[in-house]
Amino acid sequence: MKFRYARHTTELISIETFYTQIAGLQNLGGFQNHDGYDGLFLGIPGQDWHLEFTRSEGKPENKFDEDDALVFYLSSEKEFSLTRERILKNNIRLEAPKNPYWSKNGIMISDPDGYKVIFSIKL
């Protein structure tokens, strides 16, 4: 099985920058003007998952709450520290998660669309 999380955005360039430079994902490809949509695939080469972000003339109707988040489980304390350094270097504000588990076991920020993103090393 392969997994793809797809989300519509108006901020395709900002989303690519955020998820490659902050989250450490890679651009795996994309498409232009496919039935009125442009798209971008982000992930880690060789994995069975990736994120897809699309843009079209239609505006997204984002409906999420404080408990909706993408969670990236990092492989080591070193990777966690490097991610935290990138976040702080880019002046991205750390946020307080609603769920206290994430306050103890990760850090949370928002992506350019306002969606919550959590980085943790604890599964």
For the purposes of burial, counting CB atoms within 10 Å of the CB of 6, is it exposed (0-12), middle (13-18) or buried (19 or more)? exposed
Q: Report the pLDDT averaged over residues 9-13.
A: 95
Q: For residues 96 and 109, give the distance between their C-alpha atoms in angstroms, rounded to a whole number.
A: 9
Percent of the chain at pLDDT > 90 equals 91
40 class by beta-carbon count within 10 Å (0-12 exposed, 13-18 middle, 19+ buried): buried
pTM over 0.85: yes
50-101: pLDDT as tens digits: 999 999 998 898 888 889 999 999 999 999 999 999 999 999 999 999 999 9
- Average of per-residue pLDDT values in the chain: 95
Can you list the domains of the chain with their CATH numbers? 3-55 (3.10.180.10), 69-120 (3.10.180.10)
Distance CA 18, CA 100 (A): 25
Task: Tell me the mean pLDDT in the region 31-49.
Answer: 97
